[in-house]
Amino acid sequence: MAIVKVKEIIKESPDFTQLTDLAAEKLGGKVVFATDDFFAEKENLINSGRGVFITDKYTERGKWMDGWESRRKRTPGHDWTVVKLATSGKISGFDIDTNFFLGNHPPHASIEAVNLKSDEGVADWNDSSIQWKEILPISPLDAGSQNFYKSYSDEIFTHIRLHIYPDGGVARLRVYGEVFKNWNDVKNDEEIDLMAAINGGAALACNDMFFSAMSNLTMPNRGANMGDGWETKRNRIPNNRDWVILKLAMPGNINSILVDTCHFKGNYPDRCMIEACLSENNQDVLEDKVKWIEVLPMQQLSADHEHVYSSEIINPGVYSHVRLNIFPDGGISRLRIFGNIKSN
């Protein structure tokens, strides 16, 4: 097929990269199919990081690459792969990252998406019964680069299909967007983790994340290592306070809180304190136009430990955002806020 240059690559990291990566493996995303992954496995596409390069590492099939790479196509057509998102959501944009793929990256790509109630029993991802919708037209890719593109649909999707033309390697695929959860299925007396990314919780801002990203706080499971958490740099200012603001998946009552310092042993914060507020939008929170209320008074923290608080919680009420304060600096692996959604 003829390739027509359709969209220009966004050169700077766009705002949508602050949203949740709906395809992330650590959130629960899965690569369920690829036409060919001869040189490098399709599963690498949604791993953490941008991928690494090891100069002298080879496999029996050729150079080891940290990404998805198909063989050189000698027949008509092109390669593609299907990713099941960790959760259904509205997609805002993509990063098709060709990091370290220099002489072997695809020159163009496009993306389709579909909303499936279930993918059980799907034997052919190219079957005409699957109503794929194009949400990124055929667009150019630069070698060894993050290629940012906006999504051209505001519908809810569960799966995406990445097409590369005609073949080659992509290190990572990021699918940024907003989690969609049917809250009608959640009873008011059902306790859930209001902070979990899989439910729609998200980190919005922090004063420092020098060593690792604030978004890790809302991920499932305990941290895999010390890099899988939120860690600030060492601060020498007396009485320093580092902080991160997070949005709850839905406004709700806070019943218990878990602060996990997993893997943080010589660099956990000495103490923490949590505040909360109720706001209809994120902007007012970020501009400090809200009233912060203390919900967890100052607590002493320990190394590599799950700290659970319930009786310590004060000022009960309905909240939409929380601010985790740590003193004086350090690392937190996960933050869980267990509660009930606001009654209608």
According to the 3-state scheme, what is the secondary structure of the chain? CCCCCCCCCECCCCHHHHCEECCCHHHCCEEEEECCCCCECHHHHHCCCCCCCCCCCEECCEECCCCEECCCCCCCCCEEEEEEEEEEEEEEEEEEECCCCCCCCCCEEEEEEECCCCCCCCCCCCCCCCCCEEEEEEEECCCCCEEEEECCCCCEEEEEEEEEECCCEECEEEEEEEECCCHHHCCCCCCEECCCHHHCCEEEEECCCCCECHHHHHCCCCCCCCCCCEECCCCCCCCCCEEEEEEEEEEEEEEEEEEECCCCCCCCCCEEEEEEECCCCHHHHHCCCCCCEEEEEEEECCCCCEEEECCCCCCCCEEEEEEEEEECCCEECEEEEEEEECCC
State residue 13's pLDDT score.
84
Rounded to whole angstroms, the Cα distance separating 115 from 138 reads: 21
pLDDT higher than threshold 80 for residue 343: no
Domain spanning 15-179: CATH 2.60.120.260: yes
With bands split at pLDDT 50, 70 and 90, how would you rate the model's confidence at 2? Answer: very low
pLDDT digits (tens, 9 = 90+) for 111-170: 999 999 999 999 999 999 999 999 999 999 999 999 999 999 999 999 999 999 999 999
Residue corresponding to tokens 């895999």: 224
State residue 9's pLDDT score.
65
State residue 188's pLDDT score.
83
Give residue 247's identity as a one-letter amino acid code: K
State residue 1's pLDDT score.
45
Query: CATH topology of 15-179 equal to that of 186-341?
Result: yes
Furthest-apart CA pair in the chain: how many Å? 67
State residue 344's pLDDT score.
45
State residue 6's pLDDT score.
55
Rounded to whole angstroms, the Cα distance separating 22 from 46 reads: 10
User: What six digits make up the tokens of 109?
Assistant: 């790509």
pLDDT digits (tens, 9 = 90+) for 20-67: 999 999 999 999 999 999 999 999 999 999 999 999 999 999 999 999
User: What six digits make up the tokens of 273?
Assistant: 């304190």
pLDDT digits (tens, 9 = 90+) for 208-225: 999 999 999 999 999 999
Rounded to whole angstroms, the Cα distance separating 36 from 39 reads: 9
pLDDT higher than threshold 50 for residue 337: yes
Rounded to whole angstroms, the Cα distance separating 269 from 109 reads: 44
Homologous superfamily of domain range 186-341: Galactose-binding domain-like (2.60.120.260)
State residue 8's pLDDT score.
66
pLDDT cut 70: percent of the chain above it: 97
Residue among 324, 331, 303 at smallest CA distance from 211: 331
State residue 30's pLDDT score.
98
Locate the domains of the chain by residue range: 15-179, 186-341
State residue 189's pLDDT score.
87
The Cα angle at residue 147 between residues 145 and 150, in degrees rounded to 5: 165
State residue 12's pLDDT score.
74
pLDDT digits (tens, 9 = 90+) for 258-290: 999 999 999 999 999 999 999 999 999 999 999
Give residue 26's identity as a one-letter amino acid code: K
State residue 232's pLDDT score.
98
Instruction: Please state, rounded to an integer, the average pLDDT across all residues of the chain.
Output: 95
State residue 128's pLDDT score.
94
Residue among 180, 310, 325 at smallest CA distance from 253: 310
